[in-house]
Structure 1
Amino acid sequence: IREAISKSSNVFFCNTGLELTYKSNGIRTLIEYSDQFGIGHKTDIGLFGEQSGTMASPELMQDIHGRPWFLGDICNTIIGQGLVTVTPVQMLQVAAAVGNGGKIYRPNLVTEIRNQDGQLIEKYEPELLREINVDDRNFSIIKDGMYQAVSGTGGSAWLLNGAPGNPYAKTGSAESTQYLNGRLLEGAHSWSIGGFEYGGKEYNFVSHITLGGRGYQSVPVIRDFIECVYGDFQDAKCK
């Protein structure tokens, strides 16, 4: 599984979904755990217009397309395609949960608010919403695979290799068809999520480029950001 994560193998995860289906009700298992990660639910970050995204299900398939759930739908779902839609903030929560061993916190845009005189108006403390019911060993395996995506042979996030902060990452390509400015555009949204170390703490990231191509194409954005953090944003590319 570490290699499958590092190389972003759709075939491996499709087969995993099929195996789940043969042994139990595969889609219900996926829904159960996706629900714990917050897929299909608002994060309550406090931004007006936040979207909940969607988690695929037989019921949603019937509502949208008027057809039953087919075996192949589990393959689309388990790799985040088909009826699955997410927001960058949701995926940042997922990355953080992998990094911290399964804790889901309410996201905040800022840690505190001060007035023009520097007086504290409001401070936002971390708020633990829930803990995901997954063994710590499984999170370690996932994280190992994400480290290998950066440093291993054939890793999908190899463009982060050598970046400071010992980063780990998972890339993704979300196939999409949408109208923009009256034009029908087809392609893939480029995604990458992960984390890195800085100042004795671990930080998480998400990079999303609308119709940006394959997942690895969003990785240079993260590399530039990490290098800017370590360079105190002094380099010209950080301005």
Structure 2
Amino acid sequence: MTHLDEGTLQELLDGEMPAGRGGPAEAHLASCPVCAAQMAELRAGGERMSALLGAGDAPAPMLRAQAEFHRRRRAGRPLARAGRGLSRAAAVMIAIAGAAVAAAAFPGSPVRAWVQENVLAGPPAPAAPAPAPAVATVPAPREVPATGVSILPDDGGVRVVVSGAAPELRVSARLSSAPQAQVRATGAAAGTARFRTSPGRIEVLNAGPGEVAVELPAGAESAFLEVNGRVYAAKDGESLRALVPAESGSADQPVFRAGP
């Protein structure tokens, strides 16, 4: 059995078969699995090429040149026989290459500009990542170092006087084995409290919220803690006695609130 050559199959696929030859060729194609398989291969190749040509973001000028080439070919058919031995994909590529080379040879050609922009320029550079949104940072509150003073008893006695204190100030008191009386301010009170000393006396002025720790010498004959004009605690023999209700703490170390 004589099979259809590729040029005849291409003419059938393109709808260019002359009327007198079309019927017998189509009848043979319907009865010959070999030619039918070759026709299917030609059709699949053409579809793949069409998909590739349509994948661009915008139609290239060379595609317009190729369309014009096919239009003239189908009108005059000067190249029909010459192309029969080629597959449709090869014929399309030759048409594109020929049209592109001819058009790109002229300065200012749209084909030349398209090739330079889409082929020679390479793939577009990836977009720079968007800068991360600025995150406002809140500085941590500065910790105020503790402040304080100490003195020795005078004539066996010592008195610690806290005056002008904020109502939120906490004042703790205890007896200490140290020979001197000590006062230490922490928290906000460390930044606001002012200290003044005289023989046997420590004054803590204008302490804000925070804590003032008072240590009275256990060896002193007398020792007192006064807050805002009122005695809060006093040494009684070998122990410390609270003279106002304590807010917290223990019997040996009561914690008072400076406010009412």
What TM-score range do you get, normalising by the shorter chain? under 0.3
- Ranked by relative contact order (alpha carbons within 8 Å, sequence separation 6 or more), the top structure is 1
TM-score (norm 1): 0.21
TM-score (norm 2): 0.20
Q: Give 1 or 2 for the bigger CA radius of gyration.
A: 2
